[in-house]
Amino acid sequence: MTDDGDDDRKPDDGATGAGRATAGRRRGGRAAAMERATRTVSPAWPTTTTDASAASPGRATAQSAAAACKPSPSTRPAVDRSARTLVIGCGAVVREAMAALQLAGLEHVDVVGIPAKLHNRPEKIPDAVRCRIASARIRDGYGRILVAYGDCGTGGELDRMLAAEGVERIAGDHCYAFFAGIDDFAALHDADPATFYLTDYLARHFDSLVWRGLGLDRHPDLLSAYFGNYTRLIYLAQMPDPILEADARAAARRLGLAFEMRTTGLGGLSDWIAAKA
């Protein structure tokens, strides 16, 4: 499996490093937090103006996208990947996707990440994923491609692009839903819409991706503007860890929210990868 999405030292980097993945504990990073802040009680993310409706699925589409994306020359050996599957995932879930692959024993599947910082610019997500698809088809020759990404505030543009490309993605609006399970998350959200969520990834990088990412370190007066309508924080734990739990509890205190923790495991992400890959 190829890990391009979760560099331990750079929370914003979803496209560096490659190699065989291990499921060991790491301190990688990214931010899907702003999406939840806006989708729960605040205005939705802006949508992209990308027009995917005119594109036709398949390699012809990939070739035109490849020209626009200008895939960089491969640094990997020129091997035949037509029998392999590539999972293109948000950088915030790459670590969990690799763990799911290892648990399922799927040796024919690779994983590559898109920088999770794009959650702060969701209008850029469809084109970033499109470029990865083009590169995977034209440069790397993968026989099959899947996308481990929620809609993540793209307003349906990601799905329209993927339909044009003939690529399937995991169901769900965001990673909270496919970790917790879509129905379970819907019930959780309906019970209290004024809830802010953290995953392992966001608990690990709360300070850089949420606190500093939203400018609260420089403008603490913005705290009520961002979080004044929230009443609780729920930490959805994929791989329970006392350090991450302590980090999540500290995040709730800083935001002035009640704290809850629910262990989801790899949830629907693991089930989807096992079924589709």
The CA distance from 50 to 36, in Å, is 23
Region 67-75: what's the mean pLDDT?
55
For residue 14, what pLDDT is reported? 39
Distances (CA, A) of 134 to 71, 128, 141: 8, 10, 10
Q: pLDDT per residue over 120-159, tens digit each?
A: 789 999 999 999 999 999 888 999 999 999 999 899 999 9
Look at strands 144-148 and 195-198 and give their pairing.
unpaired
Spatial neighbors of 239 by CB under 8 A, at least 6 apart, are 25, 96, 99, 200, 265
Residue of 166 and 120 predicted with greater confidence: 166
At residue 156, what is the residue type? G
For residue 5, what pLDDT is reported? 46
Residue 93, judged by CB atoms within 10 A of its CB (0-12, 13-18, 19+), counts as buried
Share the mean pLDDT of the chain. 78
Least confident of 50-59, 75-84, 262-271: 50-59
Q: pLDDT per residue over 19-64, tens digit each?
A: 333 333 333 333 333 333 333 332 222 222 233 333 334 445 545 5
The CA distance from 120 to 148, in Å, is 18
Percent of the chain with pLDDT over 70: 71
Per-residue confidence band for 3, with pLDDT thresholds at 50, 70 and 90: very low
Residue 75 has pLDDT above 70, yes or no: no
Q: pLDDT per residue over 148-158, tens digit each?
A: 999 998 999 99
